[in-house]
Each structure stands twice: as structure tokens, then as C-alpha cells.
Amino acid sequence: MKHSSLNPFNSLYRTESIAADAFVDLFSPVLLKESLVQRLFEPGNVILCGLQGSGKSALLNLLEPEVLIEYLKSDRQWPLPEHCSKFISASITLRSSGALLFGQRAIEGVPEDNERVIGLFFADFLNYWIVSDLLEKLQLLFSERGEALAAKVGINTKLDLLDNFAAKFSSASCWLGALDGVSSFEGLRERIELRIRKYENFLNYNSDFPMEILTTKTVAGDPIAEAADCLRDCGILPDDVPLLVTIDQFEDLMDLERDISENDRPIFRRVIWKMLGNRDDRVSYRVGARLYSLDKGVHGLTGSATVEEMREVNVVNIDNLVQARESRKSLFPDFCDDVLRRRLISAGYSGVPIKATKQLFGSRATPEQKVDEFITKSRANVVAKTVPFDSGIRDMLVRLAHTDPISAKLGEAWVRQNIKRKPVTLSDVGKEPWASRQWWKKERKQQALLQVFSSCGQKMVWYGSGDVVNLAGRNILTFLSICQFVWAELLRSLEDGPNKLPENIDPVIQTLGINSASDYWFRKIKAEPKGGDDRNRFANELGNFFREKLLRDRNMSYPGSNGFSLPLRAVEDEPIVDGFLSDCVAFGVLEGRPHTPKTRSRGQSEKWYLSPILSPHFQLPAAHIKEPYYASVDEVVDWMQKAGVVTIGISSEARKIKKSRPADLTNGQLNFPFEE
């Protein structure tokens, strides 16, 4: 295969839309090592959530019999653990099913403001659509193509059982007589499809509303549960094989609700919450959702009942699963390697190693390596021209800067910190005591790197497998987009393209591609719903604030100032601020996590950082290795106001930006003594 003009990463969403036989080649099973992910294939309701591109739809595709049939046909290893390999499934993807047509046309005889009744029709449509998909899956399992999977699952595929099932199912009371007279499986499929077409014709203004639907609306989830009962009663489905129903792209219902409800009430989402909250163990639901669509709670159809986590539903957050824990390393680097390897093999490259990321981008680049590679001139500028210490010390640091700019910058910070307590001599500096202070040095290296590049009039560089994986921020779509932009730069630099698998792509090409990817993700914030423009401007305000703060901090007393911390009690007192920060996290602009502050008086806190992929855009260190900036709510409000975010509803106290705040000693770093 010729590769010269091809970019293996041009299609970032390939596992969402490709055929089943291609899916088994591209799908990475790394996340299936996590026991929480395995809950998707076991009885019980599950909400699978995560940021865009985190891998939700790919995991949900494993529930599809077409995909599982391909695994059995191919030489690929069966992806699921044996204990959760037996199930029957049905699914609906809200965007492609026609469900999003609801609300664009008023139903005759139903007041437009009667949201609860509109929700009932939506529930009826969902019931029919999911049952239709279940019947299609059954027909596949009863066919020659599906017989191997049916045998593995334990389904009885005697043909006469389908007609028995159809007669029993169509006469169930849940249909309110809408399917009376059906006696065959084919007749059942036709009647179900007819109901769906009637909805679609009406919603597309091709017909008047079918009046028989007014008196035969089904209850959310009832026909689906009844289908499970009938399948078992007829001997098709064993008692120990669960029925799993997937509802994907849940977040798309929010746009539909905004079109109908002035207050964005969850008219349609409540229907799905009701399905999950029925506590009916005959059917288990899987809901694929982005974080922002879950809001602060999940509500039932009445608007008062809630779906309780760990009782009616288990929440599996992919973004949390791939991060490192105390007991084990992160799954994300292995996930990146596996996805990258499969993409390259699919593009026709041979000899792709297991550690594909290191092959393409090289080993992790240290700050010293970056400086040696790119800071070749103006090294004398690394040390500030005006310093609060003896010029002889400055001259010594300048000489050091010619051979080791990072050490010189750290040395300048060390002198600035310690000279406040006692005089610093040339002899002291000559011993380079900062070099032996491993933690002190490690915590400040990224800030030193930023200041070195800035003082020499250059932008920071990003390359090596460490940077690529860290900047992706535990999101596989972000990782693939970095690969896409770097590969595009590689193609521009070569006349005939990389006909062989590239190795250690040039750092300049990597930096150009990573900067383009970072700029793309910053622009992309605007395109997201529910206030993307506000979050884009807020990220800009925050990024510039932190860059300026890290550059001005010549003492390097606050190396963690690429993030901020707030006491939770202060945030909870300001719902507007709380909601805005939560939206920033849910849309992937900020990363939020619990924070244990050094000062007990601050109480339980949370810290926030800009998404790592935005670091190149703002020229900020991406690593989070030290205490964040201890902010106050009034400062966050000030950032919001400067960004043009509407702050109506915030208390007057939070709007007052204090001109002077008492020094927070715990936010600084204790100086280490000359001798220890």
C-alpha cells in the first residue's frame, strides 16, 4: 500500500461509523481491563459518561451482535471476559433514529405547553423504536450468519418459536390493543415499523397526527420489559441471559428541550430517567452521555423523583477510569499505544511495535534536552539583567547559563529566595546547592523551562511521547487529533510522504503539529453548546493570568500557579460560580479534582486546571506537580466578569475584588537553608 498522501488520522471518529468487520480491527480492548467497564455487559442499569471522544460509543458498539459475530468469524481474540459474554441486546442512537424530530411540530389536541403529555408521546416512540431494533437483532440471531453467536449466548433458535413469541407479545396489555390481530413474527415487525413511520410522517409534516396513537400510548419501558418476559416464556431466552438496551447520545436531547421549554426543563431526558428508575430487573439500560447532560441530578418523569446512583443505576465515568491511582498506573498510555498501533496497521504500515507512541514521537524529552536542542543563542538573557543581588553572582549565573540554562534559571530563583534571610556569597552559588535538592528542583523545572524560552524570545516546544500523551489529558480523541496534526506537518515536509513507518519524528514537526492541535481545541470551545463562547473567553482570561503569573514569579515561589483552588463551602454559597465551573469541567475546558489544602481553615477544597491540550496555546506548563494558586471566589468572579460571563445572581460580596489579601503562607514554598 502506498502511504505518501494518506493521513491515517484524518477520520477521528472511525469506530463510531465503520462496518463491523473494520471495527474489530480498530477497537482497542484496553479499557475492558477495568472491572467497572465490564458492568456494561452485566445485568443492571449503567450510565456510561465521559467527554467527547472518550470512547463511549466504541464500548457500546461491543453490545451489538453484528460486532460480536465478526469477532467470532475473525481471528481476533474475543474481547469480553467469559463471565459477561452472554446477553441479548437492543439499541437506539437518538441522533439517527428520528427521536430528535420531536418538538418541531405540535400534536393536535395537546396544548403546546403541556410538557408532560409531549413526554408521553416521546416515550411511546422510544418503546416502538427499541422493540423494532430488538426484533431485528432476533432475526439476525435466528439466521445462518448469527447461529454461532446464538449458540455462544445460549439462545434457542427453533424457527417456530419466533411466531409463538410474536403472538404472545402482541397480545400483551402494554400495547393497549395497538397490535391486536398479529400472529406471526413478520407481521409483528411490520406493525411496529408502521407505527414508527406514522410518527416520522407526522413529524416531517407529511401527514396529520394519527388519532389512534392518542389512545394507545405505551408507558415508558413497559413493552421492552414485556418483550423480555415473552422471550423467556416462549423458551427463546434463558433465565440467566439478560436483555441489555442501549440509549446513546443522550446529550442531544438537551437541544431538543431548549427548542420546546423556555426553562430548558428535561422533558425528554425525564422519560429515560423513568425507564432507569422503574426498578424492573427484566431489562437493563445503558445510557451513553456526555457529562454536561447529567446536570446535578437525574429526575423522573414527575420532576420530583430521582434516580439514585448505586441503587437504580451505576455511573461509569471513562475520564476517571483512565487516570492514575495510588494502587496502579494510568491505563491511558497503554490505551494510546494500542489505538495508535491499530490505526497505523489499518493504514498499511508493517512492523508497528507495541509501544507505537514511543516509535513515532520518541522518548520523553526532558527540559534540559529541549533547551539544548532549541536554545542555542542569547543564553546570557536567561538570567535577569536587573537582580536584587551582587553583580558578581549574576555573572557567575550567566556563565552557567551558557552550558546549562535550566540550572542557571533555578540558581537565580534559589538566590532570590535565600538572600532575603542572609547574605549569599559567590562561594555559596559556586556549590550549586539547588542541584542536590531533588524535589525543590523537580517542582520548578517546568516553570524554569517557560522562563528560559521566554527570556530568549522563543515559544516553548512540545515533542516526545511524554508530551504527546500528557497533553492529550486522558482523552483518546485529543490524542488522535494531535497525531492528525503532527502527521499533516510531516506530509508537508516530505515530497513523497512517509512510505515507511516514521521513527522519532523531527521535534520541530511535532511542535508545529501540537501547536496547531492546541489552537484547534481552543477554537473548538466556542462551538460547544450551553455557553461555549463564555467558556472560550474564560479560558483565555485564565490562561493569560497564569502565564503572566508564572513569568513574573522570578523567585519561583509559586510553581503550581497553572491551576487554582477554592474552598468548597465558598463555591457552594455561590450557585452561579459553582454551575459555571461545573460546566467548564463537563465540557472539558477545565479539569477538576478534590484538593487537600495545607491550611485546615480552608476546609474541603477543589482545584481546577485548564485542559492540558490548551497548554501550548497559552504557553503554560501542563504538569500539575505543586500546590495550585489559592484563589478566592471574588477572584473567580473577576475572571468571569472580565471574560464577559453573565454573573447576575452572584452575591455582592463575591463581586467585590479585594485590593489586598492577607498573605497565604501555605501557598508559597519554604526556603531551604544553606546547610542541612
Tell me: the pLDDT tens digits for 321-371?
887 665 567 889 999 999 999 999 999 999 999 999 999 999 999 999 999
Strand partners, 605: 567, 595
Q: Alpha-carbon distance 150 to 158, whole Å?
A: 11
Task: Determine which of 138-142, 276-280, 294-298 has the lowest per-residue pLDDT on average.
Answer: 294-298
Set of cell numbers at residue 365: 524529552
| pLDDT confidence of residue 657 | 52
Q: Alpha-carbon distance 294 to 51, whole Å?
A: 12
Tell me: the pLDDT tens digits for 447-500?
999 999 999 999 999 999 999 999 999 899 999 999 999 999 999 988 766 778
Confidence band, pLDDT 50/70/90 cuts, at residue 665: very low
Q: What is the mean pLDDT of the chain?
A: 88
Which candidate, 30, 8, 27, places its Cα nearest to that of 483?
A: 8
Confidence band, pLDDT 50/70/90 cuts, at residue 15: low
Helix (H), strand (E), coil (C) string for 461-501? CCCCHHHHHHHHCCCHHHHHHHHHHHHHHHHHHCCCCCCCC
| pLDDT confidence of residue 596 | 87
Confidence band, pLDDT 50/70/90 cuts, at residue 14: low
Greater model confidence, 252 or 614 = 614
Q: Alpha-carbon distance 38 to 59, whole Å?
A: 10
| pLDDT confidence of residue 308 | 55
**Residue 241: count of CB within 10 angstroms of its CB:** 18
The answer to whether residue 394 scores a pLDDT higher than 70 is yes
| pLDDT confidence of residue 110 | 66
Helix (H), strand (E), coil (C) string for 239-258? CCCCEEEEEECHHHHHHHHH
Mean pLDDT within 187-214: 94
Confidence band, pLDDT 50/70/90 cuts, at residue 75: confident
Helix (H), strand (E), coil (C) string for 328-382? ECCCHHHHHHHHHHHHHHHCCCCCCCCCHHHHHHCCCCCHHHHHHHHCCCCHHHH
Residue 249 dihedral angles phi and psi, to the nearest 5°: 65, 45
Tell me: the pLDDT tens digits for 402-461?
999 999 999 999 999 999 888 999 999 999 999 999 899 999 999 999 999 999 999 999
| pLDDT confidence of residue 298 | 45
| pLDDT confidence of residue 16 | 60
- Per DSSP, 45 falls in state -
| pLDDT confidence of residue 118 | 85
| pLDDT confidence of residue 114 | 65
Confidence band, pLDDT 50/70/90 cuts, at residue 3: low
Are the CB atoms for 294 and 582 separated by under 8 Å? no
Confidence band, pLDDT 50/70/90 cuts, at residue 108: confident
Greater model confidence, 449 or 118 = 449
| pLDDT confidence of residue 426 | 94
Task: Determine which of 54-63, 427-436, 493-502, 584-593 has the lowest per-residue pLDDT on average.
Answer: 493-502
Greater model confidence, 105 or 485 = 485
Mean pLDDT within 564-586: 93
**Residues of the chain above pLDDT 90, percent:** 69
Q: What is the sign of the dihedral through the CA atoms of 327, 601, 658 and 572?
A: positive
| pLDDT confidence of residue 661 | 43
Which candidate, 514, 518, 450, places its Cα nearest to that of 486?
A: 514
| pLDDT confidence of residue 512 | 97
Tell me: the pLDDT tens digits for 29-53?
999 998 899 999 999 999 999 888 8
The answer to whether residue 306 scores a pLDDT higher than 60 is no
Greater model confidence, 19 or 246 = 246
Confidence band, pLDDT 50/70/90 cuts, at residue 81: very high
Mean pLDDT within 609-632: 94
Tell me: the pLDDT tens digits for 637-650?
999 999 999 888 78
